């Protein structure tokens, strides 16, 4: 049992760990008591998209229902080789509706689909988000001749189960439409389905977390044996006299509308073993039940804010508390002497994020500023340089501590002080 080269984490510990990538920009240590998600995200297609059914017919996505059996794909061998896929029946487990910016993708075969930037497609290079597709990519699927035989007007059925996935077509156009439209998505037992003859993926997070799709969609649930394992890791940190601050959490929300039974005991375990803690949440006032555990000289409370407008928030963050509730909770923690900070990410409207600073700076100690990476009509059209410069001017004028995340760092002035780690306690 040794300390890792980072100097803050213990080798062999997985319940208190050092996060990597973008998560590492937020905290040197993290813990995740729950599995699943309650924020109702969807990776979506237009309602008139034709879905290949298991019986060989097609049906518009708007008319596909939970419990239907559609056609998906599965690996044809144990080696899971990229090109060895076969068609397989796939049960529809969930269906979601939202409004998102629309992108039209056209294939050389003439197949067209309208979808969101965060939808994924099976290409010659594996699964790729719409936002990352180029006209150099080939999308795999039925192939135009076979697809044309399965559209509703033909009325014939062509069962596919067990057949090899051989069709593909090159992308010839990717158009960002100047509108948001109502979109739908389904989740399936194979985690994919055939949409307008193209192989489409639904949300990838359950696979990363090794979760069953039904369990994931049901909302945040407690991890089995979590408290005992967290205690074991905490003892190891205590034995090495490591007293860092542990953030909760990156893959779920400890104050979600679902199960929160592990939240308080997790904070108590960290506290009792000499560790600090920080909670980043969209749960707002649901956190007040544990405010007595937070210590001004060790701990922090943070909230993600994207807007001050309730209607806008309900559109983008359907499972979260409304902005006014989150802001009021930040103020309450501040009044109790607790260090507070705000995550301004994703930035969906530049003026709204700047207005959040104006509305909260009197009781927020630190701001962490990022951009939007998953909405092409925002990511690709907004003036991020101007936003970054306006934001740092405002934060400096107000005397507020801040960290500009990597996506916006290219727009900072030369030699601008931008420390990654700011002590998040008083």
Peptide bond between residue 346 and the one before it cis (omega within 30 degrees of 0): yes
Q: Identify the band that residue 149 occupies on the pLDDT scale cut at 50, 70 and 90.
A: very low
Q: Identify the band that residue 150 occupies on the pLDDT scale cut at 50, 70 and 90.
A: very low
pLDDT at 38 over 70: no
3-state SS, 340-386, equals EEEEECCCCCHHHHHHHHHHHCCCCCEEEECCCCCCHHHHCCCCHHH
| pTM check: above 0.75 | no
Comparing CA positions, the residue from 41, 45, 43 lying closest to residue 61 is 45
List CB contacts of 369: < 8 A, sequence separation 6 or more.
Answer: 344, 345, 347, 353, 388, 391, 402, 403, 404, 405, 408
What is the pLDDT at residue 322? 93
**Cβ(128)–Cβ(121) below 8 Å:** yes
C-alpha to C-alpha distances, 260 to 33, 289, 299, nearest whole angstrom: 9, 11, 19
Comparing CA positions, the residue from 275, 281, 353, 284 lying closest to residue 312 is 353
* CA 97/CA 67 separation, integer angstroms: 17
| In the block, residue with structure tokens 């507070």 | 340
Tell me the CB-side half-sphere exposure of residue 392, using CA atoms within 13 A: 17
Q: Identify the band that residue 144 occupies on the pLDDT scale cut at 50, 70 and 90.
A: low
List CB contacts of 309: < 8 A, sequence separation 6 or more.
Answer: 323, 352
Minimum mean pLDDT range among 130-139, 173-182, 401-410: 173-182
Q: Domains for the chain: give ranges and CATH numbers.
A: 21-39+220-411 (3.20.20.70), 50-202 (2.170.16.10)
Minimum mean pLDDT range among 71-80, 304-313, 373-382, 406-415: 373-382
Q: Is 419 helix (H, G, I), strand (E, B) or coil?
A: coil
C-alpha to C-alpha distances, 358 to 316, 327, 372, nearest whole angstrom: 22, 12, 20
More confident residue, 380 or 406: 406
What is the pLDDT at residue 211? 52
Q: Identify the band that residue 24 occupies on the pLDDT scale cut at 50, 70 and 90.
A: confident
* CA 254/CA 230 separation, integer angstroms: 15
pLDDT at 324 over 70: yes
What is the pLDDT at residue 187? 79
More confident residue, 136 or 187: 136
Q: What is the pLDDT of residues 189-227, one digit of tens each?
A: 887 899 988 999 875 445 444 555 455 545 567 888 999
Comparing CA positions, the residue from 52, 57, 82, 85 lying closest to residue 70 is 52
Strands 245-248 and 276-281, by their bridges, are parallel
**Cβ(376)–Cβ(103) below 8 Å:** yes
Q: Which residues of 67-96 are buried (b: 16+ CB within 10 A; e: fewer)?
A: ebebbbbbebeeeeeeeebebbbbbbbbbb
């Amino acid at each position: 049992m040794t300390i890792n080269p980072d100097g803050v984490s213990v080798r062999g510990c997985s319940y208190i760990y050092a996060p990597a990538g973008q998560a590492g920009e937020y905290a040197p240590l993290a813990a995740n008591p729950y599995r699943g998600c309650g924020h109702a995200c969807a990776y979506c297609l237009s309602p008139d998209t034709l879905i290949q059914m298991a019986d060989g017919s097609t049906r518009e996505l708007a008319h596909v229902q939970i419990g239907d059996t559609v056609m998906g794909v599965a690996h044809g061998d144990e080696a899971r080789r990229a090109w060895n896929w076969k068609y397989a029946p796939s049960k529809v487990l969930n269906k979601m509706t939202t409004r998102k910016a629309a992108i039209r993708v056209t294939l050389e075969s003439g197949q067209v689909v309208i979808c969101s930037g965060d939808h994924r497609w099976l290409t010659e290079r594996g699964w790729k988000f719409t936002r990352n597709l180029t006209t150099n990519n080939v999308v795999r699927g039925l192939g135009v001749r076979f697809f044309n035989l399965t559209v509703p007007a033909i009325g014939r059925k062509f069962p596919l189960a067990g057949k090899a996935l051989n069709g593909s077509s090159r992308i010839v156009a990717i158009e960002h439409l100047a509108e948001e439209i109502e979109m739908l998505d389904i989740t399936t037992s194979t985690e994919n389905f055939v949409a307008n003859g193209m192989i489409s993926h639904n949300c990838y997070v359950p696979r990363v977390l090794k979760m069953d799709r039904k369990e994931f969609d049901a909302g945040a649930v407690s991890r089995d044996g979590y408290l005992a394992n967290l205690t074991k890791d905490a003892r190891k940190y205590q034995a090495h006299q490591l007293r860092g601050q542990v953030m909760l959490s990156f893959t779920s929300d400890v104050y979600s509308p679902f199960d929160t039974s592990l939240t308080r005991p997790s904070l108590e375990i960290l506290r009792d073993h000499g560790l600090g803690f920080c909670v980043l949440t969209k749960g707002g006032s649901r956190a007040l039940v544990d405010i007595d555990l937070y210590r001004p000289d060790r701990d922090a409370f943070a909230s993600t804010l994207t807007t001050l407008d309730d209607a806008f928030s309900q559109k983008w963050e359907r499972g979260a508390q409304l902005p006014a509730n989150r802001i009021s909770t930040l103020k309450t923690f501040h009044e109790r002497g607790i260090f507070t900070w705000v995550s301004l990410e994703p930035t969906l409207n530049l003026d709204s994020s700047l207005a959040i600073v104006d509305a909260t700076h009197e009781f927020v100690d630190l701001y962490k500023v990022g951009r939007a990476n998953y909405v092409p009509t925002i990511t690709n059209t907004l003036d991020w340089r101007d936003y970054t410069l306006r934001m740092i001017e405002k934060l400096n004028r107000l005397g507020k501590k801040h960290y500009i995340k990597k996506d916006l760092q290219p727009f900072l002035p030369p030699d601008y002080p931008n420390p990654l780690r700011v002590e998040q306690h008083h």
